[in-house]
Amino acid sequence: MTHPTGGTKRSSWLTFRRRLLLVRTLLRSAATSADLVAAINAELGDQGYPAAASAALKHDFDALKGEYGCLIRYDRRTRCYVLDDLGELALLDLPDPCMEALAFLDASFPAGSGLPEHAHIRALLERVRLLLPPARQAQLRRQRPAMRLGVGAGARPIDPQVLDLVKRACEQRRELAFDYLSSFDIDTPRRHRVAPYGVTFRPEGHGYLDATLLEVTPRAGEPIHAAIDYRLDRIVPGSLEILPTVLPPERIPPPRYTLRYRLAPQVARRRDVASYFPETQITYHADGSATVTATVSNLWQTRQVLLRYGDGCTVLEPAELVALFAQTAHGLSAIYAPQREHGR
């Protein structure tokens, strides 16, 4: 017994599936016709395109444009097909709170600034936008979000090759060597060999490599095995080298310090002091002041955090951090004391 319509149904379903696969492949990235044929055939096997596929491919593109309103163009320079608009195939719709979240991300991570580009956030947002129906896309363009994340956009750009090698070294758990110009190096960068662990972007917009120092040439007082945040834009492009040494899965333990500082009543009297460090314990005193204890491993970073309190914070230990603050205070005094005397 035969089913006269079975073959047609099956063939229509295959055609539809092939076209959806084309769209899915183009959503991933622009692609040459050979890439597209290979992707379809990898999925559908011998039910994919025939050997001479160009006519069938063109037919599918025409159908996607005509039947679903997809905008697919051929880029002559790259010889790739690019999907500009999904037309009727824009199947993703979102509830209003999610649209608001999308607008929030869109405003917080604008195109052209460091972090969104490096973390591919813009690429993700553009893709999600492409998946929305035209009316929702228009709504997103009109939306003026009241909330946004304050991520600094004025940071110096990070060399893409630097970021790429740093990410690769972290993923492969391999030592990394590079020339680095720290705040204390006047004009000659020094060679650092480190165990890299990850990249962090801070609210001011700078990207940092979190690493353990293994060697620095020439030495300038940095403690070996200290946890250091290296600003990525200060790593000299072209100087990075991923070394063959594979690191253990667990981080080389950095020196740990017990931190103790006192916050003046004007900072602590509301009893809502922030916990910035691991193992933070806060004791509030009757006079409105507070004593905070915690454990830290990066004294430089700790100083940066505590400086926000200005003279409302007195560091009590460790001695190394007290010395760093004394140095900072001395520097600040050298800058401002003459002015103060001058003004009298």
Residues near other proteins (CB under 8 A) are 175, 195, 214, 243-250, 252-253
Residue 217 CB, nearest distance to other proteins (Å)?
A: 13
Q: What span, in angstroms and rounded, lies between the C-alpha atoms of 274 and 176? A: 35
Q: What span, in angstroms and rounded, lies between the C-alpha atoms of 218 and 344? A: 45
Residue 222 CB, nearest distance to other proteins (Å)?
A: 16
Task: Give the DSSP H/E element, type plus range, for residue 7.
Answer: helix 6-28
Query: Of 176 and 294, which has the nearer Cβ to other proteins?
Result: 176
Residue 234 CB, nearest distance to other proteins (Å)?
A: 24
CA atoms lying within 13 Å on the CB side of residue 243: 13
Cα torsion for 107, 111, 113, 114, to the nearest 10°?
A: 110
Query: Of 214 and 315, which has the nearer Cβ to other proteins?
Result: 214
Query: Of 111 and 246, which has the nearer Cβ to other proteins?
Result: 246
Burial-class residue 12 by CB neighbours within 10 Å (0-12, 13-18, 19+). Answer: exposed
Residue 64 CB, nearest distance to other proteins (Å)?
A: 43
Task: Give the DSSP H/E element, type plus range, for residue 139.
Answer: helix 134-142
Query: Of 253 and 278, which has the nearer Cβ to other proteins?
Result: 253
Residue 253 CB, nearest distance to other proteins (Å)?
A: 7
Residue 250 CB, nearest distance to other proteins (Å)?
A: 5
Question: Residue 31's beta-bridge partner residues?
Answer: 81
Query: Of 96 and 250, which has the nearer Cβ to other proteins?
Result: 250
Query: Of 65 and 251, which has the nearer Cβ to other proteins?
Result: 251
Identify the CA nearest to 222 among candidates 277, 183, 165.
183
Identify the CA nearest to 103 among candidates 151, 148, 152, 150.
148
